[in-house]
Copies of this chain bind each other. A is one copy, B any other.
Amino acid sequence: MSCVAEPASPAGAAGQRFAAGSPRVLVAGATGFAGALAAHILWRHPGFELAGVTGRSERGRRLDDLYPRYRVPLQIGELDVEDCDGLDAAIVAYPHAAAAPTVGMLRERGVRVVDLSADFRLSSLASYQQWYGVHPRPELLGEAVYGLSELHRDRIAQAGIVANPGCYPTAAVLGLAPLARAGLIADVVIDAKQGISGAGRVFDETTHLSMAGENILPYKVAAHRHTPEIEEQLALVTASGGGSGEQLAIQFQAHLVPLDQGELASCYVTPTRTVEPALLAALYAEAYDHEPFIEVAAEPPGVREVRETNFCRVFAAADAHTGKVVVLSAIDNLWKGTSSQAVQNLNLMFGLKETEGLQ
């Protein structure tokens, strides 16, 4: 049942806080950073029952043995999609291309999915093929909704597949959306910095403390897969404000810096017309004053301010010297950038309060 072939150990299963009758959610791929954190959040969530955790490795170990700090006392089982009785939803935390087939099988059994991979983020199949290769289940693309909660709330609520955004697009698009909606972006450079957890549970030169420590490392110059995702979403936002909706070629560059969790997108916008500070303030206030998870900061935000939260903290300033607009957008790459946003989307999908289990 619940898609877990080897039943999760009942031994340690005390401690969940869900109310009776809560939707039952599986985390598939719980051994990676993103899946494990999603399981941690769901385990403490009053509105969901964490039905099980599965992994392609580490089966039989307990998740709190792999991630002691998360204290999820469930055994890692094997995903068995043939037996999904009673499962309402799944968070799928698989690598790109590996996710789509599983998402498809879950959908066929009526399970709603938040997919953390890139497989359903791009609405354009051509774009996917260019950046990722052959898509395993292209026929499902039309069913997927892009899971940037603040932008697509209504459609997420109805979706069968929610494509959870990449962490870089989350920070960048939330930072730039008020400008895009007002048709103010003529050109933009996005310089993003991220902690080492962004590399995931990957063991190599980029994550070894003696190599990643005391370093600042730019990577994937002029070729980051998150670029088309940002371009597509900015075009959608621009169109939503009455703009042309044509995609703008953006300059995106990622860097690894020596911390664990945290991400800052520094965005440099050449505006379509002069932007006065008062207009800027009004645009961001209008866009975000009622958002529970977006804070418009009075000072440039450090990523510590949002560590281990679902908050995105945004700051915008007009530079009188250059005429450009500087936007700084800080998130926790594993929380709002990945796993807590997945839960925010689940809240939307099941009609719970959007902030439930996330404060």
Known contacts A196-B210, A304-B215, A315-B221; decide if A324 and B262 are in contact (CB<8 Å).
no
**Does residue A305 face the partner (Cβ distance < 8 Å to B)?**
yes
Chain B hits for A270, CB < 8 A: 187
- Binary B-proximity of A196-229 (CB < 8 A = 1, otherwise 0): 1100010111011111111111110110000100
**Does residue A319 face the partner (Cβ distance < 8 Å to B)?**
yes
Of B69, B203, B328, which contacts A208 at CB under 8 A?
A: B203
Of B195, B268, B305, which contacts A69 at CB under 8 A?
A: B305
Most chain B CB inside 10 Å of its own CB: which residue of A68, A187, A209, A300: A209
- Binary B-proximity of A160-199 (CB < 8 A = 1, otherwise 0): 0000000000000000000000000001010101011100
> Which residues of A in the span 263-284 have a Cβ within 8 Å of any Cβ on B?
263-264, 266, 268, 270
Chain B hits for A326, CB < 8 A: 221-222, 251, 253
Chain B hits for A42, CB < 8 A: none
Please state if B210 and A208 are interface contacts (CB–CB under 8 Å).
no
**Does residue A303 face the partner (Cβ distance < 8 Å to B)?**
yes
Of B218, B264, B322, which contacts A250 at CB under 8 A?
A: B322
Within the complex, what minimum Cβ distance (angstroms) separates A251 from chain B?
Answer: 5
Of B204, B210, B218, B264, which contacts A260 at CB under 8 A?
A: B210
Please state if B210 and A266 are interface contacts (CB–CB under 8 Å).
no
**Does residue A23 face the partner (Cβ distance < 8 Å to B)?**
no
**Does residue A306 face the partner (Cβ distance < 8 Å to B)?**
yes
| A–B complex contacts, Cβ < 8 Å, 11 sampled | A33-B210, A68-B301, A68-B305, A189-B189, A195-B210, A196-B209, A215-B303, A216-B257, A218-B301, A227-B321, A251-B268
Given A44-B359, A208-B209, A218-B301, 8 more A-B residue pairs with CB atoms under 8 Å apart are A33-B210, A68-B301, A203-B208, A207-B207, A209-B213, A214-B259, A216-B257, A222-B321
